[in-house]
């Protein structure tokens, strides 16, 4: 797959464009949400205690679409991958925006996510990607869209993780369109975060969480398609979310619960209730991801066997920590009942 540069914009201009669009858009989205009474109310399946506007992630989506549009217009040749990325992003954000206004069934949302993932995979194919990358693009997009939706439950977590993962990919890739897209995600998240930390004044909503997951899939596939070493190492920065989401989902399925319904059983949600503050958990997840990014960079030129061993060991450690967090919460709950 071939990539271009930032479409003629300087790096500061590119970052500033995404930051300002996201910041201004989030401010406008909050006013809109308050006027339309688009509020997430507290409840047993929520991790917040006061009614909070939702849908602020539309500002990040608009910033990213402007950036992709700029690259498409400025490109000297047709870039089907960027076109697919834009279409897929609009599909994921569109169904999320509708769901933020009028809740849809999880199956209808999943169907749209699958269409968006298919569009991205076709874009990879049209761009010259091999069949393995095409299949990976579909799977990664479908998985990350839903994981970011699952993990968007406390202040700042989903947005900060997206920014860190994107920054890691930008450093790892070094140059090319995937890097510019990644930096656009970082800047757009930075424009949104002041409204979401230290206490959220607006939430991403489904429009934002799903869109962030899809955007990260675009960047990951772009970096992998550029030939930056074995793509397995690119799973390192995603480990915090992949471990928590996958193991929590597996546990719910084994208990024969309705796993597709909202819940507060993720490790980060247990931990946030235990600490009584979201910021501690968000910071801890950020620290884990920063270490994971550092390891990814160190493995840039490592042998494949070394990469496989390190990634497996890292995920094993993450799984053990997930189990300890869950066990610790159950112990506290039992003591509270005595």
Q: Tell me how far apart the alpha carbons of residues 207 and 33 are, in angstroms, rounded to a whole number.
A: 13
In a domain, 131, yes or no: yes
Give the pLDDT score at 337.
30
What is the band of 328 on the pLDDT scale with cuts at 50, 70, 90?
low
Flag whether pLDDT at 48 surpasses 80. no
In a domain, 6, yes or no: no
Give the pLDDT score at 175.
81
Specify whether the CB–CB gap between 258 and 195 falls below 8 A: no
Q: Tell me how far apart the alpha carbons of residues 93 and 112 are, in angstroms, rounded to a whole number.
A: 10
In the predicted model, what is the mean pLDDT of residues 253-270? 80
In the predicted model, what is the mean pLDDT of residues 232-237? 95
Give the pLDDT score at 74.
80
What share of the chain has pLDDT > 70, as a percent? Answer: 91
Give the pLDDT score at 252.
87
H helix or E strand, kind and range, residue 27: helix 11-36
In a domain, 141, yes or no: yes
In a domain, 314, yes or no: yes
Give the pLDDT score at 279.
85
DSSP readout, 86-151? HHHHHHHHHHHHHHHHSPPPHHHHHHHHHHHHHHHHHHHHHTT--HHHHHHHHHHHHHHHHHHHHT
Where helices occur in 127-264 by DSSP H, the ranges are 131-150, 157-173, 177-192, 205-225, 239-254
Give the pLDDT score at 16.
96
Q: What is the pLDDT of residues 112-126, one digit of tens each?
A: 999 999 999 999 999
| Summary mean pLDDT of the chain | 88
Q: Which domain holds residue 44?
A: 11-337
Specify whether the CB–CB gap between 211 and 93 falls below 8 A: yes
What is the band of 269 on the pLDDT scale with cuts at 50, 70, 90?
confident
For residue 171, CA distances in Å to 95, 109, 179, 218, 294 come to 32, 33, 8, 16, 10
Mean pLDDT lowest for which of 140-154, 196-210, 220-234, 321-335?
321-335
Give the pLDDT score at 123.
96
Flag whether pLDDT at 29 surpasses 80. yes
In a domain, 93, yes or no: yes
Mean pLDDT lowest for which of 43-47, 121-125, 322-326?
43-47
Which comes out higher in pLDDT, residue 66 or 262?
A: 66
In a domain, 2, yes or no: no
- The number of folded domains in the chain is 1
Give the pLDDT score at 3.
41
In the predicted model, what is the mean pLDDT of residues 174-188? 93
């Amino acid at each position: 797959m071939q990539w271009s540069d930032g479409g003629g914009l300087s790096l500061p201009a590119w970052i500033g464009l995404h930051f300002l669009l996201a910041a201004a858009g989030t401010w406008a989205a909050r006013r809109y949400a308050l006027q339309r009474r688009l509020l997430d109310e507290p409840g047993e399946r929520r991790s917040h205690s006061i009614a909070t506007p939702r849908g602020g992630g539309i500002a990040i989506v608009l910033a990213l679409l402007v950036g992709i549009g700029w690259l498409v217009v400025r490109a000297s040749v047709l870039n089907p991958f960027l076109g697919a990325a834009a279409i897929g992003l609009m599909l994921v954000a569109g169904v999320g925006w509708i769901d933020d206004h009028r809740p849809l069934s999880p199956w209808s949302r999943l169907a749209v996510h699958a269409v968006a993932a298919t569009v991205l995979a076709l874009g990879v194919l049209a761009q010259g990607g091999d069949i393995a990358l095409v299949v990976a693009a579909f799977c990664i997009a479908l998985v990350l869209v839903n994981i970011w939706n699952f993990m968007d439950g406390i202040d700042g977590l989903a947005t900060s993780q997206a920014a860190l993962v994107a920054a890691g990919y930008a450093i790892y890739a070094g140059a090319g369109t995937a890097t510019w897209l990644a930096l656009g995600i970082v800047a757009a998240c930075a424009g949104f975060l002041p409204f979401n930390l230290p206490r959220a004044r607006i939430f991403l909503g489904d429009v934002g969480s799903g869109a962030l997951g899809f955007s990260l899939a675009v960047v990951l596939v772009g970096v992998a398609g550029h030939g930056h070493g074995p793509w397995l190492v690119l799973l390192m920065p995603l480990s915090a979310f992949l471990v928590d989401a996958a193991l929590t989902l597996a546990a719910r399925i084994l208990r024969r619960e309705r796993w597709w319904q909202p819940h507060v059983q993720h490790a980060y949600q247990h931990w946030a209730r235990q600490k009584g503050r979201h910021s501690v958990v968000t910071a801890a997840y950020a620290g884990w991801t920063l270490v994971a990014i550092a390891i990814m960079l160190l493995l840039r030129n490592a042998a494949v066997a070394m990469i496989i061993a390190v990634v497996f060991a890292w995920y094993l450690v993450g799984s053990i920590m997930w189990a300890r967090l869950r066990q610790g919460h159950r112990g506290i709950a039992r003591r509270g009942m005595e």
